[in-house]
Amino acid sequence: MMQVVYKLLSSILVGSLQNPVVLSNIAIAAVHLISLYFTIKSPQFSLSDQVG
C-alpha cells in the first residue's frame, strides 16, 4: 500500500503528466492496486495471517 501512495505522491509533486517517470509511476501504482484488490478478495487472505 505504501508503494501506491509513494508512486501517486511523486506524480502529484512533479506536477506534470508529461514526464515519462510520472506516467510509469501511475502505471505501476495501478498494477499494485489491482494486485492488492485480488489479494484481499482472495478467500485465502486473512489479516490474522499477516500479523506478527
* Higher pLDDT, residue 15 or 38: 38
Domain chopping of the chain, boundaries? 2-45
Whether residue 24 contacts residue 10, with contact meaning beta carbons closer than 8 Å, is answered with no
Whether residue 45 contacts residue 37, with contact meaning beta carbons closer than 8 Å, is answered with no
* pLDDT value at residue 51: 54
pTM (two decimals): 0.72
Q: How far apart are CA 36 and CA 28, in angstroms?
A: 12
Cα-based torsion angle of the residue sequence 30, 34, 4, 26 in order, rounded to the nearest 10 degrees: 0
